[in-house]
Structures are given as C-alpha cells and as structure tokens.
Structure 1
C-alpha cells in the first residue's frame, strides 16, 4: 500500500514503533487490542497534550484541525472553568510559548529560508525483513538531520533508574524507558533506506513544569545502536504473532491477562520475591 497522510494511521501493513512497543509489553493484550477483543483503559491526557504542542509547530492548519477534532476533550465541562482549557492542557500553552519565539528552536525545527524541511514526513522500509513505517516531526533534508519534539515531566529533576542503578535526570528515564533511542535509530535507518544518506537524530525536549524547561538533546551512538538492537531482537517474533504464525505470549500481569486469569497454580513466597 502507498502510504499517505490520509491513510497512515489506518494502515496495518506496516509495523510502527508504538505498536511494536505495545507487543513488547504483552503480546496477548496487544493482539487482543488489534483484533478488537480488548479496549485499553488508559489516560489519553499525555498523548493529547503532546499532539496539542506538536500540531502547533507543524502548521497553523494542522493545529486548527487538531482543535476541531479534539476540542471537546480539551475543554472543562463543569465548574468555574467550563468551556475553557482544562488545567492539564494550560501547560501546553506555556510549553508552546516557551518555544515559539526561541531563535535556536526556530532555526533548528523550521530550518533556514532555503532549507528543504519536511514536517510529519512519512518514512518506511524494512527491519529484519519486517515492513516498518514512521512519521518524523521535522526533517531537514538540506542539512541532514531530523528533530523529534518530546514533552516530558521534567528534564533535569532526578529519578531512580533500576537498570543503571543510580539516580538520573528525568529526561534519561523518559528516553530510555519509552524506547526513544530505538525509535530514533529506526527512523534514521528508514531515512537511510529511502534517501541513501545518513541523518543526525536530535530531540527537542520541553518540560511540563510550571515554567517549562527546554533543551536540544543528542542521543549518543552507543545508545542508538543498543536501541536498534532491541528492536531487531524481537521484531520478527512480534510480526509473526501479528500475522498468526506464532501464539502470543502472556505477560501475566496486565489488565488483559488478569481478566483471563484462572486460579489453579500455587505461587510461593520465594517466587513472589523473585518476581513471580
């Protein structure tokens, strides 16, 4: 299928990074969602907030369309703020304000006057023989880089990272925890397949704090390589599950797995301590 802006989200013939990550969490639940047998109960607010900010910097038309399609979800339905933006989305306006007049951001995200910059560019290709696609926030084809705009709780506040076994800035947990290093590496590979050129991936991080912080972040090459290897390690198995060639694995702990649970096996205290 030829991918277009109109059919991109309906198309299932290519695997996306976000869909792949759902299968990494629990193959059984992800397949049930794909087949319409299970509806995820998740908070839409972070996704809506991210898209609210993204659409503003894509174009005036894209932001207007987003507001027309999602306006009711953004507005308070009761109380003194009825008809106004919910408090969850007021921070979106602050995030937009923090970036829209930032000279460095404008130069990076929109490029210079003569640059060939594509917004929401569709990329596609194969990874380990699996058809994969993605959409890039901003690609500067003239200067050989692309930018992913990420909204985060914070950038520099510290949190514990179990894998690294130390406290790290929230931005680190955000990038590694959500697999953004793999996503960037995948997009770079798809761009290389499409253009024959190497592109430099960058993240513009903007925080959801009362006074939003912002940074241009580079993911080091070793992290990009690690992220891509994680994708390669599981992508064929996931694609086989999607196409009915392999039975999906159950994680045993998500909402879907709990809904399917039947008692029968006795679990010991030591097994609980060891993670079940």
Structure 2
C-alpha cells in the first residue's frame, strides 16, 4: 500500500510515476535511470523552469508566491553588470506576463472561477494507467463546471517555426503542444480526474507568451489529439515502469550528453548512413 499523497510529500514520492518523469524516460532511458540513481547530474539551464514557476506561483496564491521568492529569489537577480541586484531580463518579462493576465477578466473567470465555483489550485490527482501508478498536479480545477486549466508559458503563440513531428512550419503554440507532449499530459490528467471523480473534465491550456508585449490565448485540444496522446502513453508506460523498477535494462539513445559520456569509438560511420537517418 503506497502512502497517501499530500502537498508536503508529493515531490519526494517515487511510488507514483509523473508525466515529467515519464517524458525523461522517453527521451533516453539510460540517462533518466542514471539521473534517478544519482550516477548522473543534469547540467541544464533552469531559467525556463524558474520563469514558469514564478508566473504559476503568483496565480496560485500570495502565500505560494512568497514561498517561491523565499526559496529561489536569489536566482532571479542579476549578479553582475548595470542591472546587478535587480531582476534579470527573463523575470522582468515574467512580471509583464503576470500584469497581462491579472488585469484580464476572461483569465480571472476561467482560472479562478466565479464566486460560487469550487475551484482547487495545485490539486493532486492519481490513479493507474495500464496498471502503473501515476500522479499529477493540476494548476486549476473547476469542479463545479467540469474543466481544468494548465497555465503554459511559451516564447510565442502565433509566430511560426519548424515542427519535427509534423514536418512543416506551424504556430509556436502548436509546436509546443505536440513537441512537448502536452496533449498526452492533459489527456492523462483528464483520465486521472475521471478515475477519481467519475466525471468527464474538459482540459484548457492558458497560453501566455514571453514576448516583450505578452500574447495570451485559451487553447483547446481536439479530442483526436487527446486520444492520440493518451494512446501513446499507454503503449509505452509499462516498459518505462519496468525500467524504473529495475526489471528491464534501460535503453540508450546514443546521442544525449549522458550517452556521449559513456561512448567508445566503434565502427566507421559513413556519410550515406548520416544522410539516411
């Protein structure tokens, strides 16, 4: 019997699989397993994660934002240059994003609900997918009106960029959703909510851009994409869990920083092979 999930033990618990952990194993099982067992430490830029949490915590509650600033405030400040001691440029943009949303009635009604609505912030959901215990945290759930909202920060919404998955140029918001697997994430959360409540919920993404003048939209995901995302997760999750549990050897992608650190020179690789990939 696993322990009951609470706000205090949620992040330390490893008895349940999270979407973010699942996605790490999708990228490279060998690296994710090495990170989990402490034999590899990721060297990554925290800026995007900190910015997202900076904006999220503000709309969760004043207490949550104060706690975030107490824990991470030093990382938000410039250490050198003429801006020393003030917010770094990335987080000045964060303040602009917050201002853009907090003065928007449409956002307030959706994210915080109406006065008589039962809205829960950072609600923990959990259940099983293909027998694997899974958990998640939802930004805002309107239990009265049957929907939940995921607040996503994006570099743009309507600019275009190349999508490897779709093999064409698409709007940045679409590339974010497909490229980062947000359709699978929201489909997973919808399924866990259904298991917990017996009700169907509609997921919405509240996208806000990191542009100097932030853009914002409520984005819906068509059912076909939600079904595709959940189907993909179901097809892979049992293998991922078997690797995490030590019942199956992790596969190496061969190209990430961890795999490069383990690499030994092997057979010659010909140009035709590189082109053929």
Q: Sort the TM-score into its range (normalised by shorter chain).
A: over 0.9
Q: Does 1:89 align with 2:95?
A: no
SS in 2 for 1:267: coil
Where in structure 1 do 4 or more consecutive aligned residues deviate above 3 Å?
none
SS in 1 for 2:97: helix
Which runs of no fewer than 5 residues in structure 2 stay unpaired?
none
**Following TM superposition, by how much is the alpha carbon of 1:266 offset from its aligned partner in structure 2, in angstroms?**
2.1
| Counterpart position of 1:152 | 154
| Counterpart position of 2:238 | 236
Mapping for residues 22-101 of structure 1, pairs under 5 Å: 22-101=24-103
| Counterpart position of 2:214 | 212
Q: 2:163 touches 2:179 (CA, 8 Å); kept in 1? A: no
Which runs of no fewer than 5 residues in structure 1 stay unpaired?
none
**Following TM superposition, by how much is the alpha carbon of 1:166 offset from its aligned partner in structure 2, in angstroms?**
2.3
* Superposed CA RMSD: 0.7
Structure 2 distance, partners of 1:265, 1:29, is 23
SS in 2 for 1:205: strand
**Following TM superposition, by how much is the alpha carbon of 1:72 offset from its aligned partner in structure 2, in angstroms?**
0.7
SS in 1 for 2:252: coil
Structure 2 distance, partners of 1:120, 1:24, is 25
160-169 vs 174-183, greater mean Cα deviation: 160-169
Q: Does 1:141 align with 2:158?
A: no
How many aligned positions are there?
Answer: 275
SS in 2 for 1:80: coil
Q: Does 1:121 align with 2:123?
A: yes
| Counterpart position of 2:113 | 111
Structure 2 distance, partners of 1:3, 1:137, is 16
Structure 2 distance, partners of 1:14, 1:64, is 28
Structure 1 distance, partners of 2:54, 2:182, is 20
Structure 2 distance, partners of 1:115, 1:255, is 47
SS in 1 for 2:67: helix
Per-residue CA shift, 1:93-142, capped at 9, x if unaligned?
Answer: 00000000100000000000010000000000000100000000000000
Structure 2 distance, partners of 1:160, 1:77, is 35
| Counterpart position of 1:256 | 258
TM-score (norm 1): 0.98
Mapping for residues 182-197 of structure 1, pairs under 5 Å: 182-197=184-199
Structure 1 distance, partners of 2:40, 2:192, is 31
Structure 1 distance, partners of 2:213, 2:119, is 29
Structure 2 distance, partners of 1:163, 1:84, is 39
SS in 1 for 2:156: coil
Structure 2 distance, partners of 1:233, 1:57, is 35
